[in-house]
C-alpha cells in the first residue's frame, strides 16, 4: 500500500468524508487524483445523523479532548463514517481515505483545535489507510487551521477550465470563501489563493429553527422567504471586530453568541430572514479583502439551497452569484471531495495550507496517516 500512495505513484482513488458544524450528517465522495490535478470524480453518498446521534454531537460542542461528552461524540463520528464508507467501498475500491472527524472546538489564537474521532479506528475497520487530524499541525505552527479546502478549490477551478480569478463560497455552519487565480499552477504560490471564514452561515438559522420550531433547518429557506430582514440588526452585527480583521482568519461555530439574542424579539420569519441577511452581508464585507474582484462567486454547501440566503447574496454583492452545480461540480460533496484530495496531498508530502489560506508562516502539510493494524 505504501508504494501505491507514495510520492512516485500516479493518480489514485481516495475516499473523502466530511461532517460539518451544521451537524446534519456525513458526506462521502471518491476522487481520482495525484494530489495536484483532479483526474475524475467518482460516486458519492450521504447519510443523515439520527436524532440520538445529533444529540450526542451537540452535547459535546465546545469541548476539548478531556471533556465529558467527547468519547460519545467520537464514537458517533467513527461509527457513522465507517458505516457510510462501507456502502461506497462495497462497489468501488479506494487506496486511501480522508477522515475529517467532527469539529467540537476551534481556538487558533490559543493554539488548539479539536476534531473528535480516531482515524486508526477507521483504518482498522475498513482495512484502508486513513489520513486524519488535518488541522492540528497548521495550528501548532501558528496558522488558523481553517479553511482547508482552498488548495482543492484551486484544483477545481482548473478542472472546470476557469481562466480568470473566481471565488468559492462554502455555506456550512460557518461560511468560508476562497479566492483563486487558476492561471497559476501551484496553489501554494504567492497571489494564487486567499481564504478565510466569512462569518456565521447556516448554524444560527439551524439553532433558531431548533429552538423555536423543533426543526433541524429552514428547508429551502421557506420561512426566511416569508420574512423581512431587520437591517438595523444586520448593520449592528457588522460592528463585530472579526469582520475588520485582515485574512486569513477562522471561526468557531459558536463564536457569535450574541446573534440569536439580537433577533429574539422578531417573529420567526423575520428572525430567519435577518440571520440569512447577516450570512450574506458578512460575505459582501469579506469580498473587499480579495486581491481583485472575482469574475463570479460559486456557492457550495447546504446554504446554497436556502433561497433566502441566495437572494440576499445576489442583492448585496456586485459579482455574479452562481450555484456551483451549474458548473458541473457537486455542491453537496465538495467538502468531502476536498478531504479526499487533501488526503492524497498529505500522503505525498505536499502542502495542504499556506500563508494566504490559514496564515501559517510557510506552506505546511497537516494530517496523520494511519495504516490498518495487522493481527
Q: What is the pLDDT of residues 191-208, one digit of tens each?
A: 999 999 999 999 999 999
Please compute the mean of the pLDDT values over residues 137-148 and round it to a whole number: 93
Please compute the mean of the pLDDT values over residues 70-93 and round it to a whole number: 98
User: From CA 40, how far away is CA 13, in angstroms rounded?
Assistant: 9
Give the pLDDT band (50/70/90) at residue 333.
very high
116 beta partners:
102
What was the pLDDT predicted at 4?
A: 53
Query: Does 161-327 match 2-145+333-370 at the fold level?
Result: yes
What was the pLDDT predicted at 375?
A: 59
Give the pLDDT band (50/70/90) at residue 22.
confident
On the question of pLDDT at 9 being above 70, the answer is no
Residue 289 half-sphere exposure toward CB, CA atoms < 13 A: 27
On the question of pLDDT at 6 being above 90, the answer is no
| Topology at the third CATH level for domain 2-145+333-370 | Nucleotidyltransferase; domain 5 (3.30.420)
Which residues lie closer than 8 Å to 351 by C-beta, 6 or more apart? Answer: 151, 188, 345, 363, 364, 365
On the question of pLDDT at 165 being above 60, the answer is yes
107-111, 295-299, 300-304: range with highest mean pLDDT = 295-299
Please compute the mean of the pLDDT values over residues 306-319 and round it to a whole number: 98
For 335-368, the pLDDT digits (tens) are: 999 999 999 999 999 999 999 999 999 999 999 9
Cβ atoms within 10 Å of 216's Cβ, excluding its own: 17
Q: Any idea where the domains of the chain sit in the sequence? A: 2-145+333-370, 161-327
On the question of pLDDT at 118 being above 70, the answer is yes
Please compute the mean of the pLDDT values over residues 137-151 and round it to a whole number: 94
User: From CA 371, how far away is CA 255, in angstroms rounded?
Assistant: 36
Q: Long-range contacts: 157-165, Cβ < 8 Å, 24+?
A: 157/182, 158/37, 158/38, 158/182, 158/185, 159/37, 159/38, 159/329, 160/327, 160/328, 160/329, 164/295, 165/290, 165/291, 165/292, 165/293, 165/294, 165/295
38 beta partners:
33
Judge contact between 207 and 54, C-beta under 8 A: no
The CATH number given to 161-327 is 3.30.420.40
On the question of pLDDT at 264 being above 80, the answer is yes
On the question of pLDDT at 101 being above 70, the answer is yes
The grid cell for 317 is 454583492
User: From CA 299, how far away is CA 278, in angstroms rounded?
Assistant: 16
What was the pLDDT predicted at 251?
A: 85
Percent of the chain predicted with pLDDT > 70: 97
- Supply the mean pLDDT for the chain: 95
On the question of pLDDT at 120 being above 90, the answer is yes
What was the pLDDT predicted at 2?
A: 46
For 36-58, the pLDDT digits (tens) are: 999 999 999 999 999 999 999 99
Torsion-angle region of residue 346: left (phi > 0), alpha (psi -120 to 50) or beta?
A: alpha
Please compute the mean of the pLDDT values over residues 292-320 and round it to a whole number: 96
Give the pLDDT band (50/70/90) at residue 1.
very low
Amino acid at each position: 500500500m505504501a508504494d501505491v500512495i507514495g510520492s512516485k505513484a500516479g493518480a489514485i482513488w481516495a475516499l473523502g468524508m466530511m461532517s460539518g458544524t451544521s451537524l446534519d450528517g456525513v458526506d462521502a465522495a471518491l476522487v481520482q487524483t495525484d494530489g495536484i490535478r483532479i483526474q475524475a470524480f467518482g460516486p458519492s453518498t450521504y447519510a443523515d445523523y439520527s436524532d440520538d446521534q445529533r444529540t450526542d454531537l451537540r452535547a459535546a460542542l465546545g469541548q476539548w479532548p478531556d471533556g465529558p461528552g467527547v468519547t460519545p461524540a467520537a464514537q458517533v463520528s467513527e461509527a457513522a463514517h465507517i458505516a457510510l464508507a462501507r456502502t461506497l467501498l462495497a462497489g468501488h475500491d479506494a487506496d486511501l481515505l480522508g477522515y475529517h472527524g467532527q469539529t467540537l472546538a476551534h481556538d487558533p489564537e490559543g493554539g488548539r483545535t479539536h476534531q473528535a474521532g480516531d482515524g486508526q479506528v477507521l483504518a482498522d475497520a475498513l482495512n484502508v489507510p486513513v489520513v486524519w487530524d488535518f488541522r492540528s499541525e497548521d495550528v501548532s505552527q501558528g496558522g488558523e487551521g481553517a479553511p482547508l479546502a482552498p488548495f482543492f478549490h484551486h484544483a477545481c477551478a482548473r478542472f472546470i477550465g476557469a481562466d480568470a480569478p473566481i471565488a468559492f463560497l462554502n455555506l456550512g455552519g460557518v461560511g468560508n470563501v476562497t479566492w483563486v487565480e487558476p492561471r497559476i499552477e501551484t496553489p501554494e504560490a504567492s497571489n494564487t489563493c486567499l481564504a478565510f471564514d466569512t462569518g456565521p452561515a447556516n448554524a444560527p438559522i439551524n439553532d433558531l429553527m431548533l429552538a423555536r420550531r423543533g426543526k433541524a433547518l429552514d428547508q429551502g429557506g421557506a420561512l426566511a422567504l416569508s420574512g423581512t430582514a431587520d437591517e438595523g440588526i444586520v448593520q449592528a452585527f457588522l460592528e463585530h471586530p472579526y469582520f475588520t480583521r485582515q485574512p486569513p482568519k477562522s471561526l468557531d461555530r459558536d463564536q457569535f453568541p450574541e446573534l440569536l439574542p439580537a433577533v429574539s424579539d422578531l417573529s420567526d420569519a423575520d428572525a430567519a430572514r435577518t440571520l440569512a441577511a447577516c450570512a450574506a452581508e458578512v460575505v459582501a464585507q469579506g469580498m473587499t479583502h480579495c486581491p481583485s474582484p472575482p469574475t463570479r462567486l460559486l456557492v457550495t454547501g447546504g446554504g446554497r439551497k436556502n433561497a433566502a440566503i441566495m437572494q440576499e447574496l445576489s442583492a448585496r454583492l456586485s459579482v455574479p452569484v452562481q450555484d456551483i452545480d451549474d458548473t458541473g461540480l457537486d455542491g453537496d460533496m465538495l467538502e468531502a471531495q476536498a478531504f479526499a484530495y487533501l488526503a492524497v496531498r498529505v500522503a505525498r508530502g505536499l502542502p495542504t495550507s499556506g500563508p494566504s489560506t490559514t496564515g501559517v508562516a510557510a506552506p505546511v502539510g497537516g494530517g496523520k496517516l494511519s495504516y490498518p493494524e495487522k493481527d
